Structure 1
Amino acid sequence: MSTASAGTRARILYVTDYTYEARGRRYCDEDIYLSGRMGEEFDVVVCHPRDAAAMLDGFDAVVIRNSGPVMHYQETYDAFRARARELKVPVYNPLDGRGDMAGKQYLVDMSRAGLPVIPTVDRAADLRLLPEAAEYAVKPKAGADSVGLFFTPVPVLPEGSDGTLLVQPRIDFRYEVSFYFIDHDFQYALYAPDTERRWVLEPYAPSPADLEFARTFVRWNSLTHGVQRVDACRTPEGELLLVELEDLNPYLSLDRVTEEVREAFVAGMKASVRRLLA
């Protein structure tokens, strides 16, 4: 429950790392814009993720945005989560996300359940379940932004790495596409028509089948509030396969959408935070 009284503005701690350098994206530009727009309705204080735990007291909610991969400050992030729960401060996105927020175990679970994801295993005994491919990707289950990723011509897990690494076939795809949601409401979609330029995005008009594909994973995640990005690839046969369910701090590529879409997103996010506070 918000501690803001009637007639006062709620205090929001907005967590981001303006200095984080991401390939093909300027996180700082997006968060300078979005924190400013949130400031039209809330009293917003911006802080670095390493300072978030110490600054929690006195805020009505925390909004986590482009804070970079948690693996770079795992102990601090764990302390923040514990402190937020202790103080009962609402966090946006809520801390019970089942996607990337909790690591990439969900890819293994979804693959076992037969959902439309890139086939994924995390144990040597299951490597035989992977389809034949020219190459295989091996990456840390707790990784992000391709940190620790390598490719191999045969599916392999180093000795002693069961449960810590993921193995997937390297998929031949036509393009990658991302679907953006606030709570369970679809906002917009963007795609990368050039497979060599992942973050050179253009507006994408999803079909009803595309939206149902994306909503499958939003429903699976069961977050009551927050921003989610469903990343997928389109195979040569036309099938969509999930690449990633980003529910911690998804980059939104707001500079790649029209002003009308951007305004609608900002209004939707403000309303979602208001619902969280209520």
Structure 2
Amino acid sequence: MIAVSGASRPSVLFVTDLAYEAQGRRYCDEDIFLTSRLRETFDVALCHPRDAAALLDRFDAVVVRNSGPVLHYQEAYDAFRTRARESGARVHNSLDGRGDMAGKQYLVDLSRAGFPVIPTVDRAADLWLLPRSAGYVVKPKLGADSVGLRFTDEPEYPEGGDGTLLVQPRIDFRYEVSFYFVGHDFQYALHAPHPARRWVLEPYAPTAADLDFARRFVEWNTLTHGIQRVDACRTPEGGLLLVELEDLNPYLSLDLVSDRVREAFVARMRDSVRELLA
């Protein structure tokens, strides 16, 4: 059973690492803003992800936001997921997504299924499936924020790496673009016009084809409640390829959108938490 607060308003445990430093992003500012707005509707308390498992039973819902890469506190994150499932805690994002919250196996699965995704393999025996490229990327399946990422001239697999490492061709792309959703509802899009400056983002007006592309992955995902960010790159031929399906704690870049878009996002997120509590 979830402990219901004695107050008239639902209580929310907001999980964030305000001290986490990320290149080109200020996680703390975003979460300070979001909690200030959620307090208009809920009683909100903040905690570090290492403390979430011990505290979650005291709240009506848990909102996981900018908690940083879980590989930095994997044991605590696993304990949180186990405790949340055992207690039936209401978690936003819900723990049933199969994007980044479950590791990057989805990139292999989607590649095998023929989805428009950067070709990805996780076994030495499958390296031949990758297209020829001027270079390749090798990264941990459970990695994040480029931790453990390295570049090679040829597709190669370190001995003993099967199942734990991903190999992809380096893609020549025009720019990266991100689509932000709450539940299955599209909110806004941002793009990085300069490939070498990933987090220098500008508002982007998606076409109908762009939204169809992004919604295909949102529909494929099994996330019941929460926020998703679909990251893609635009190829020289004009198509889009999935780079990442972030459904654990996607940074939202809310400081880069208009007041109208930001207010609409806050309202939809608030409704999403209400839906979780209903």
- TM-score, normalised with respect to structure 2: 0.98
1:257 is aligned to 257
Aligned partner of residue 217 in structure 2, secondary structure: helix
CA distance in structure 1 between the aligned counterparts of 2:6 and 2:160, rounded to whole angstroms: 57
* 1:236-247 matched pairs, under 5 angstroms: 236-247=236-247
* 1:113-262 matched pairs, under 5 angstroms: 113-262=113-262
CA distance in structure 2 between the aligned counterparts of 1:5 and 1:128, rounded to whole angstroms: 57
User: How far 1:268 sits from its partner (Å)?
Assistant: 0.2
Unaligned runs of at least 5 residues, structure 2: none
Structure 1 residues 137-146 or 7-16, which shifts more?
A: 7-16
User: How far 1:2 sits from its partner (Å)?
Assistant: 6.9
Give the paired residue count.
278
Aligned partner of residue 166 in structure 2, secondary structure: strand
Q: Contact 1:2–1:277 at 8 Å: present in 2 too?
A: no
Aligned partner of residue 238 in structure 1, secondary structure: coil
Unaligned runs of at least 5 residues, structure 1: none
* 1:15-54 matched pairs, under 5 angstroms: 15-54=15-54
1:92 is aligned to 92
Structure 1 residues 75-84 or 5-14, which shifts more?
A: 5-14
* 1:162 alignment partner AA: D
User: What does the per-residue CA deviation read over 1:199-236, in whole Å, with 9 as the maximum and x for residues that have no partner?
Assistant: 11000000000000000000000212100000000000
* 1:8 alignment partner AA: S
Q: Contact 2:122–2:162 at 8 Å: present in 1 too?
A: yes
Closer/same/farther in 2, CA of residues 187 and 2 from structure 1, 3 Å limit: farther
CA distance in structure 1 between the aligned counterparts of 2:81 and 2:132, rounded to whole angstroms: 41
2:62 is aligned to 62
CA distance in structure 2 between the aligned counterparts of 1:95 and 1:223, rounded to whole angstroms: 7
What is the percentage of aligned positions where both structures have the same residue?
75
User: What does the per-residue CA deviation read over 1:24-50, in whole Å, with 9 as the maximum and x for residues that have no partner?
Assistant: 000000000001111110000000000
- TM-score, normalised with respect to structure 1: 0.98
RMSD over aligned Cα atoms:
1.3
User: What does the per-residue CA deviation read over 1:82-118, in whole Å, with 9 as the maximum and x for residues that have no partner?
Assistant: 1111221100000111000000000000000000000
CA distance in structure 2 between the aligned counterparts of 1:192 and 1:9, rounded to whole angstroms: 40
